[in-house]
């Protein structure tokens, strides 16, 4: 039987992002996908019209039955929406004595610009969930927001791969967990994703920019990494393989 990975986050009614995209990415790696929904969006490819929070007790019930009965080997988080959803996730994992890797995709805004957290949710992610992560996967804007939340300093979103690497190093050291700084929102003909460990070790993954990936690329990348970790791959290999799958080509690896 193949291992399982659990995606916990939001449900996109257009299925372009969120848990729907996560499950496709997990299954594409040969891993069984499990999903728990914290919020439901009324969403199209152009906009998020409304967000409906799933009551935290119901979210916890989804998590508990999946963790207890299927014992996923990795968890990927996306839009948890409220501080209560963050607490429910960590509470269930602790109650079930679950100790696998958590890949945190710290989604801040939809592609259309709508915030994806209620008040207090982002702070709970930074203070409670990020320290438990095996990996966090911010884009440029999210990297800057995490830097501010972790008191690294007020930072602008990085505009170049070099700036992204430097800020990722600060965030990794402050959080005490590895950071994969995604380069899709950073200028350049190539996309450069930086994997930075708290001790300063760095690996860069570069590949040609593709314009046809659509929404949900960050969701799919983080979910694919979680699926790879569920199969026992080490972090650098899991990131390289997930990036290769998403980009459709093996990335150039450098700056070890």
Return the HEC string of 97-113: CCCCCEEECCCCECCCC
User: What pLDDT was estimated at residue 167?
Assistant: 94
Give yes or no for a contact between 187 and 160, defined as CB atoms under 8 angstroms apart: yes
Range of the domain at 150: 4-254
Mean pLDDT of 31-36: 98
Residue pLDDT, tens place only, 154-190: 668 888 888 999 999 999 999 999 999 998 778 777 8
Residue 135 sits in a domain of what CATH number? 3.40.1190.20
* pLDDT for the residue 209: 82
- Segment 222-243 shows an average pLDDT of 97
pTM of the model: 0.95
| pLDDT at 213 > cutoff 60 | no
Based on the number of CB atoms within 10 Å of its own CB, is 185 exposed (0-12), middle (13-18) or buried (19 or more)? middle
Helix segments in the chain, DSSP class H: 18-28, 56-70, 83-95, 121-124, 140-149, 161-175, 217-230, 235-247
Query: What residues have CB less than 8 Å from 74, skipping those under 6 apart?
Result: 5, 6, 100, 101, 102, 103, 226, 227, 229, 230
Please report the pLDDT score of residue 111 as a whole number.
65
pLDDT, residue 102, reads: 98
pLDDT tens digits, 132-161: 999 999 999 999 999 999 988 766 888 888
Number of compact structural domains in the chain: 1
Average pLDDT on 193-212 reads: 90
pLDDT at 3: 96
pLDDT in the model for residue 185 = 75
Average pLDDT, the chain: 91
Residue 151 CA to residue 104 CA, distance in Å, equals 19
Residues 88-134 have pLDDT tens digits of: 999 999 999 999 999 999 988 766 667 777 778 888 999 999 999 99
């Amino acid at each position: 039987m193949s291992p399982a990975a659990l995606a916990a986050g939001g449900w996109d009614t257009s299925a372009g992002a969120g848990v729907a995209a996560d499950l496709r990415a997990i299954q594409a790696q040969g891993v069984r996908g499990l999903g728990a929904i914290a919020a439901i969006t009324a969403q199209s490819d152009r906009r998020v019209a409304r967000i409906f929070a799933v009551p935290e007790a119901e979210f916890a019930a989804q998590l508990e039955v999946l963790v207890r009965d299927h014992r996923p080997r990795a968890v990927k988080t996306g839009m948890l929406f409220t501080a209560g959803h963050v607490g429910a996730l960590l509470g269930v994992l602790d109650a079930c004595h679950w100790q696998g890797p958590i890949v945190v995709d710290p989604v801040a805004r939809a592609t259309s610009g709508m915030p994806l957290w209620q008040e207090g949710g982002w702070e709970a992610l930074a203070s409670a969930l990020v320290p438990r992560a095996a990996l966090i996967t911010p884009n440029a804007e999210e990297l800057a927001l995490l830097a501010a939340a972790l008191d690294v300093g007020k930072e602008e979103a990085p505009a170049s791969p070099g700036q992204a690497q430097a800020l990722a190093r600060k965030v990794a050291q402050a959080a005490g967990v590895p950071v994969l700084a995604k380069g899709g929102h950073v200028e350049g003909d190539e996309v450069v994703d930086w994997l930075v460990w708290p001790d300063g070790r760095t690996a860069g993954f570069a590949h040609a920019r593709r314009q046809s990936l659509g929404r949900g690329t960050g969701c799919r990348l983080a979910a694919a990494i979680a699926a790879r970790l569920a199969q026992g791959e080490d972090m650098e290999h899991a990131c390289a393989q997930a990036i290769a799958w998403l980009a459709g080509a093996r990335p150039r690896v450098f700056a070890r």
